[in-house]
Amino acid sequence: MSPPLPRRPQIPNLQGFTVLRRLDCSYNQIRNLLPLADLDSPAIEEVYVANNKVTAIAALSHLTSLTLLELGSNRIRTIEGIASLTGLRELWLGRNRIAQVAGLATLTNLRRISLQSNRLTSMAGLEACTLLEELYLSHNGISALGGLGALSQLKILDVSSNRLTSLQPGDLAAQTALEDLWLNDNKLPAIDAALDRALDPVRQSLTCIYLEGNPAAHDPQYKRKLLNMLPKLKQLDANFL
């Protein structure tokens, strides 16, 4: 007789956990979140389901007290079913299969979003997140910095390891509070007048910039030129100044 097949890991029944504040189901092989549809905990604030095999997240839609949701390293293709989570301040969706930012129109309290290592080619879809302070979009296929006009509170913007070939003068027009800008490992060609114009809105706020891994970083006057452009700079790539 063949041995029985091992049962797939799943989230246990959590009915009765009415004062649960934090739930961490990370690093299992969970395929769905359906057992959480029965969770009745009005006080729950944080859910972590990183490094699993989850494909859909609608089972969390009733957890309206959530402020943090971590779903990194799963198999999610679309952001849907969480429009009711209007209290969310942090949403972590890195290392999934998301090709388009959608479903965030009601999540206006978000302060931090991670969509690193997905399949994005555009930054569109973030317009409603006007309180956003940190945006992580590295390791995608983004070729332009469009779509940031409403994000005037941004302090950290990470678009490293994408397909950027230039920055346009209006790309950062609203980001006058930006402190950290990570542009490393793109295809930005030169430290020139065009880059200077594009960085003008953040000239007085930017304290850290990463540009290594671009053709521009081969300029013999790389450091000097950037210090002239950005007088408040305290860190260039991994080097403190």
Cβ-proximal residues to 53 (8 Å cutoff; 6+ apart), any chain: 29, 30, 31, 74, 75
Q: What is the mean pLDDT of the chain?
A: 94
Assess whether 224 and 130 both reside in one domain.
yes
Q: What is the pLDDT of residue 38?
A: 86
Residues of the domain holding 23: 16-91
Q: How many domains does the chain have?
A: 2
Q: Is residue 129 part of a domain?
A: yes
β-bridge partners, 41: none
Assess whether 240 and 128 both reside in one domain.
yes
Q: What is the pLDDT of residue 8?
A: 64
Assess whether 225 and 186 both reside in one domain.
yes
Last-in-domain residue among 53, 72, 91: 91
Assess whether 142 and 38 both reside in one domain.
no
**What's the pLDDT tens digit per position in 23-62?**
999 999 999 999 888 888 888 999 999 999 999 999 999 9
**What's the pLDDT tens digit per position in 73-103?**
999 999 999 999 999 999 999 999 999 999 9
- Section 137-154 average pLDDT: 96
> Which residue would you say has higher pLDDT here, 66 or 3?
66
Assess whether 130 and 87 both reside in one domain.
no
**What is the CB neighbour count within 10 angstroms for residue 33?**
24
Q: What is the pLDDT of residue 22?
A: 95
Confidence of residue 16 (pLDDT cuts 50, 70, 90): confident
Q: What is the pLDDT of residue 146?
A: 86
